[in-house]
Structure 1
Amino acid sequence: MQKSVALLDHVSSPSVKWLSVGEVVTRFLSLMLVVSIPPICLFIDLKVIGNGVSEQSVTEIAQLVMLALTIGCFILLAQKKSTERYFFLLAAAFFACMLIRELDALFDLIAHGLWLYVAAPIALTAIINAIKNSSATLQGLLRFVSSHSGVLMLVAIAILVCYSRLMGMTGIWQNIMGDGYLRVVKNAVEEASELLGYSLILSASMHYAFQRLRTEA
């Protein structure tokens, strides 16, 4: 009973910021736009261009652009918010390594596995600096994951590293399609799932950057 009263007091507290109807509608429409990006890109690749989901597809290019913009958001935050700089640089390095990994086919034209040697120094530098400034890094991390943008980011990364990989399992699609199995279907579902993750990652990054940059703290 006491817990229920405390919860009601918290909800009715004037310190709780309520959203206006317009803000709710705007957020919902924005989310609809974000989750519409993967199927739109997939439609362009398969129906308009007819190139499947190759390394030069609209879907793949959209992934690269979104990663680049995400990196830009965290680099900008690192420049503007010095107290949490090393967390933002760590996040930027994390997504930079993802970008380099997505470009592995390009690096393989120079030397097989080259992407790893390009990504490793970036990751190590960011990790070492984060460890040296562990208190500030942890503070920045906790502040981020405690925000609405941070929660969305965690969901997005889970979609990217777990859901998309599971949905891209060949065995699933072989059992669904049987003798009519087409690899392009598996690839399309996997790449669209990845793009959904990247879309939400960019959305979370931009929202957090906008939120933090318009405040002094």
Structure 2
Amino acid sequence: MPSTSPPDRIGFPALCLRGLAYILLVGALMQGVLHEALGLTGEQFSELGFTELTQSLLLATATALALAVRLLDHRLPHVALLLIGLLGASLIREQDALLDAHVFDGAWQTLVSLLVLPVLFVVIRGRRAFVAELERCAGSFAFGLFAAGFLTTYVFSRLYGRSELWQAILGEHYLRTFKDAAEEVTELFGYTLLVLAMFELLLLVRRWRRLDDASGA
């Protein structure tokens, strides 16, 4: 009896393999965080530490993957463009200290505006197409990973990293390092989820293309 599963669904062996790879990636990143905490006395979770630099690398990778989705397939142009804008703006924001020190104070805000405003204009102008594209990929594994990464990075990490929370927990033993570690490591995990989401999205559009090729053969 032929399978009734959607032909673009991820197969079980591939799902297990990717799950193992993702677990190893998260484990490697957390090992790097531990190395930073143990080996960089006085410099833990600074702008030049492992966690901050890895955040920038993850954001650059996620932005490049979103750009690849935009360039390699025509099905999600508005969704991919919005992702490029969001991830690119986050990448620029992570370089705020560097840009303020070596370009001019407030440079990152200017660069983010130059990137985000045209992206929003295009997406809003094509909002009906954007909604249709979003509905097409909303039930995918990639979308689930992106939603988890977005909530972790832009909501949970901000609330979890509040000074008031850590002052209440630690009392007289409060040190800013605890607050910084909590916020930065949570952001690191969120950015990791966003990279995985863009990787899964790229694989999804590749599967769509293969299906199109097969149906047209």
The one-letter code matched in structure 1 to 2:38 is: K
1:79 to partner: Cα distance? 0.9
Partner of 1:200: 193
The one-letter code matched in structure 2 to 1:15 is: T
1:65 aligns with 2:57: yes
Normalising by structure 2, report the TM-score.
0.85
* Match 1:153 to one of 146, 149, 153: 146
1:84 to partner: Cα distance? 2.3
Partner of 2:36: 45
1:192 to partner: Cα distance? 0.3
Cα distance change, pair 82–21 in 1 and its aligned pair in 2 (3 A): closer
Identity across matched positions, percent: 25
Cα distance change, pair 46–128 in 1 and its aligned pair in 2 (3 A): same
Partner of 1:176: 169
1:96 aligns with 2:88: yes
Is the Cα–Cα contact under 8 Å of residues 42 and 58 in structure 1 kept in the other structure? yes
- Give, in whole Å, the separation in 2 of the partners of 1:96 and 1:142: 23
Is the Cα–Cα contact under 8 Å of residues 107 and 114 in structure 1 kept in the other structure? yes
- Give, in whole Å, the separation in 1 of the partners of 2:12 and 2:75: 35
1:28 aligns with 2:29: no
1:24 to partner: Cα distance? 4.7
1:107 aligns with 2:99: yes
- Give, in whole Å, the separation in 2 of the partners of 1:211 and 1:139: 16
The one-letter code matched in structure 2 to 1:98 is: S
Gap runs ≥5 in structure 1: 1-12
Partner of 1:135: 128
Gap runs ≥5 in structure 2: 213-217
- Give, in whole Å, the separation in 1 of the partners of 2:186 and 2:38: 18
Is the Cα–Cα contact under 8 Å of residues 69 and 201 in structure 2 kept in the other structure? no
- Give, in whole Å, the separation in 2 of the partners of 1:65 and 1:28: 21
Greater Cα shift, 68-77 or 29-38: 29-38
Greater Cα shift, 16-25 or 126-135: 16-25
Is the Cα–Cα contact under 8 Å of residues 141 and 200 in structure 2 kept in the other structure? no
1:178 to partner: Cα distance? 1.8
Greater Cα shift, 154-163 or 24-33: 24-33
Normalising by structure 1, report the TM-score.
0.85
The one-letter code matched in structure 1 to 2:95 is: L
Is the Cα–Cα contact under 8 Å of residues 97 and 119 in structure 1 kept in the other structure? yes
